[in-house]
Chains A and B, each alone.
Chain A
Amino acid sequence: MWITCPRCGGRPVEEYRFGGEVRGAAAWITDAALRDVDYVWMYDNIEGVTTERWFHGAGCRRWLTIRRDTTTDTIVA
């Protein structure tokens, strides 16, 4: 799997560190405490296209956001 860094170009995934899916608090959970539990512990874990943050640790050492299809490991955008 290769990821294209806007500064360094296409580089192998081993150079990057996974930084988690991009998401906000679950607005549909009305109880504030339960919403916090959800935000801290629960994952969307989407089987399909997700938006996620990656850190280019062995390159420019900056963060980037990509959209990736988790069923094929292809970068969508």
Chain B
Amino acid sequence: MNDFVERRIALRWHAPRRAYDVLIIGGGGHGLATAYYLADRHGITNVAVIEAGYIGSGNSGRNTTIIRANYGIPEAVRFYQHSLELYQTLEEELDCRFMHETKGIMWLAHTETQMRAEGARSLLNLACGAETVMITPLEAKELCPQLDLSGGGRYPVLGASYHPAAATARHDRVVWGYAQGAMRHGVHVAQHTMVTGLQRHGTRVTGVETTSGPISAGVVLSAAGGRVSTIAAHAGVRLPIRTHPLQAFVTNSYDFPFPGIVSDTELLCYVSQTERGQMLVGAEFDAQPSYSQRSSFSFLQSCAAKVTRLLPFMRDLRILRQWTGICDISADFSPIMGQTGVDGFLVTTGWGTWGFKAIPAGGEQMAQLIATGRTPALLEPFRLDRFASDHTMADPGSTGTH
């Protein structure tokens, strides 16, 4: 993070002490939110967050900032709806403006099959408290006048599911807001401190080895994103996680307002406009696991071909920059939160390509779990042992692209 930003938002870094009650690996949204809620809701302030790079340098600073709750299974809808509602009041709570803007998301359908899938999704969402309605092509055109309803003659729009509560927010600012909030309560945040191993005593994890020396802790939580498998392996924990690259790009500024977020579950791409007017395009994650954070030209080609068919005005824009994050994708496309079977070691992972929207709820619920020792009802379905007990939360259609 640059000096200007650090001065403006008054972040205070700490050299880590030798021991803490709770130690969180990973200074991204989930790690810092958990630290904030531990301190603010539960009065647990002897907490440290250690980050290998600078805070928000991983997927928290690389996502496409979409907040929505239109998932495909009841447990997930409830969880993300709670997160979406927390986001709506978060600016006041953290006393930090992060440009939260409710703009609505539409998921376009081009086939009868997809129309049925979206119809089912909207009914399930309504039943679980997240407003989603089916709209006609003309209503879609009214919401987004730039849309070509013939899809360039190739992908005609038959309808869409519309989730009006969807929002976007400035992602770095969310991370800084949580960091600031946690620091106000006395939480230590150490940047450029990399975990090289876990300390174990018998069957229990009792601390971490870092590049700044060993730190012992009552509870160690991994909120490390794409590198979670490597960290968990130090504790002998195996995870149903593969680390895949997820790419995105922005164009130069489009001079007209582009309302809402347009997503296409069949073409697997989505478009929104940033606060600076740039058009932000994302798509599905790369097929092969990788830790390289490398972007590809073929990604730009394939996305450009899709979005220019749906939104012809984008032909006149230029690609400004592209980037890649490495995402912890779980085997059933749902997050994994809570105990790992090893005492003193917890994970919040499986955030794949859908973690930004879950930061407030994930942090709040993980803090409650750590403070009380009991798994809150919202987290219960997302325990790691669901794989062994055959209760997986398969929801690829809701998460594969976002």
Task: Give residues in A with beta carbon < 8 Å to B.
Answer: 1, 12-14, 17-18, 21, 26, 34, 37-38, 41-47, 50, 70-73
A-B contact count (CB 8 A): 57
B199-242 interface bits toward A, Cβ cutoff 8 Å, 1 = contact, 0 = none: 00000000000000000000000000001011000000011111
Q: Taking the nearest CB of chain B, how far is it from the CB of A30, in angstroms?
A: 14
Contact A12 B290 (CB under 8 A): no
Instruction: Compute how far the CA of A17 lies from the CA of B287 in the bound complex, rounded to whole angstroms.
Output: 8
Contact B242 A45 (CB under 8 A): yes
- The SS class assigned to the B binding surface is loop
Q: Taking the nearest CB of chain B, how far is it from the CB of A47, in angstroms?
A: 5
Contact A37 B387 (CB under 8 A): yes
Collect the chain B residues with CB atoms within 8 Å of residue A1's CB. 288, 294, 296
Can you sample 8 A-B contacts with CB below 8 Å? A21-B289, A42-B387, A43-B238, A43-B240, A43-B289, A45-B229, A47-B229, A70-B291
Contacts A18-B287, A43-B229, A47-B230; A71 near B292 (Cβ below 8 A): yes
Q: Taking the nearest CB of chain B, how far is it from the CB of A49, in angstroms?
A: 12
B323-367 interface bits toward A, Cβ cutoff 8 Å, 1 = contact, 0 = none: 000000001000000000000000000000000000000000000
Instruction: Compute how far the CA of A26 lies from the CA of B115 in the bound complex, rounded to whole angstroms.
Output: 43
Contact B290 A73 (CB under 8 A): yes
B228-258 interface bits toward A, Cβ cutoff 8 Å, 1 = contact, 0 = none: 0110000000111111000000000000000
Contact A12 B298 (CB under 8 A): yes
Collect the chain A residues with CB atoms within 8 Å of residue B230's CB. 45, 47
List 12 extra interface pairs beyond A21-B289, A47-B243, CB under 8 A.
A1-B294, A41-B387, A42-B239, A42-B240, A43-B238, A43-B240, A43-B331, A45-B243, A70-B291, A71-B291, A72-B292, A73-B294
Contacts A37-B388, A72-B292; A47 near B238 (Cβ below 8 A): no
Instruction: Compute how far the CA of A34 lies from the CA of B287 in the bound complex, rounded to whole angstroms.
Output: 28
Contacts A37-B387, A47-B227, A72-B292; A42 near B238 (Cβ below 8 A): yes
Contact A43 B242 (CB under 8 A): yes
Contact B292 A45 (CB under 8 A): no
Q: Closest B-chain residue to A3, C-beta based? A: B288
Instruction: Compute how far the CA of A68 lies from the CA of B230 in the bound complex, rounded to whole angstroms.
Output: 17
Contact B331 A41 (CB under 8 A): yes
Collect the chain A residues with CB atoms within 8 Å of residue B298's CB. 12, 14
Q: Closest B-chain residue to A45, C-beta based? A: B229
Collect the chain A residues with CB atoms within 8 Å of residue B289's CB. 18, 21, 43, 45, 50, 70
Contact B292 A70 (CB under 8 A): yes
Q: Which of A13, A43, A50 is the most central at the interface, judged by chain B CB atoms within 10 Å of its CB?
A: A43
Q: Which of B230, B242, B243, B288 is the most central at the interface, judged by chain A CB atoms within 10 Å of its CB?
A: B288
Contacts A45-B229, A47-B230; A38 near B238 (Cβ below 8 A): yes
Collect the chain B residues with CB atoms within 8 Å of residue A12's CB. 298
Q: Taking the nearest CB of chain B, how far is it from the CB of A18, in angstroms?
A: 4
Collect the chain A residues with CB atoms within 8 Å of residue B240's CB. 41-43
4 nearest A-B residue pairs (beta carbon)? A45-B229, A42-B238, A41-B240, A41-B387
Instruction: Compute how far the CA of A37 lies from the CA of B238 in the bound complex, rounded to whole angstroms.
Output: 11
Q: Closest A-chain residue to B243, C-beta based? A: A45
Collect the chain A residues with CB atoms within 8 Å of residue B292's CB. 70-73
